[in-house]
Amino acid sequence: MEKPVGTSERDARDRLAELADQRGVSLAALSRLIRRNGTYLQQFITKGSPRRLAEQDRRVLAQFFGVAEVELGLSIGKSYEAEEWAEDFVRIPRLPLGASAGPGSFSAQEIPFDSFGFSPRWLREQGLDPKMLSAIAVAGDSMEPELRDGDEILVDRAPRPFRDGIHVVRMGDALHVKRVQLLRPGHLTLVSANRAYPPLEVPAGEVEVIGRVVWKGGRL
């Protein structure tokens, strides 16, 4: 059997304490969030009791902090026996943001409302770090037929050398999903798959590249 890998129990406790401190929320409040008594997470962190967070507790806390469950103790890399599947999938947060494939949409909320489960083996094979991934929906038709209105896309926010491809970018308060090309120094060209939308060349300083689109999903 393949040896499980992932965040250790001690690391998970330390990470939870760090996240609570960064967010400025008490362990008692977090315990109530997962419907436990007020000292539950304090004992988990300081005494190691329970030894591991229950699956539902870990999922709720990961969604609250907007992190992958692996940071809070989800083991990855186990053998894929049927009873282990639920534990083996890494949950990637779904954010209530619309990456516009049309004229643009505003994005005020960045708190996860749900998650997608991805195979940790598949993520490793793709060279993707779960902590740097998030899923959002496409809005509009400018990337059709590659991306359709309502499609869900997986965005890799890991810092990497830039290369042409489909990216989520921010201009002002609006998110866009476009094919981004670097055709001349200091400028980016945003290209739509739908030929009804002409390419847009903008100074690089006016565009924040949020991440590269590495997966899509949607209804047929």
Of the listed ranges 38-42, 82-86, 144-148, the least confidently predicted one is 82-86
Tell me the H-state helices in the chain.
Answer: 9-23, 27-33, 40-47, 55-65, 85-88, 120-125
Rounded average pLDDT over 135-156 = 92
DSSP for residue 193: S
Backbone phi, psi, residue 18, to 5°: -65, -45
Domain with CATH 2.10.109.10 in the chain: 89-220
Domain with CATH 1.10.260.40 in the chain: 1-87
> Would you say domain 1-87 falls under CATH 1.10.357.10?
no
- Predicted pLDDT at 75: 67
**Residue 72 to residues 15, 61, 87, 113, 133, Cα–Cα distance (Å):** 7, 8, 12, 18, 16
Instruction: List, for residues 81-134, the tens digit of each pLDDT value.
Output: 433 444 468 888 888 766 555 544 434 456 777 888 898 888 988 999 998 999
Q: Average pLDDT, whole number, for the chain?
A: 83
Residue listed under structure tokens 């993520």: 123
**Assessment of whether the complete model's pTM goes beyond 0.95:** no
Q: What's the topology of domain 89-220?
A: Umud Fragment, subunit A (2.10.109)
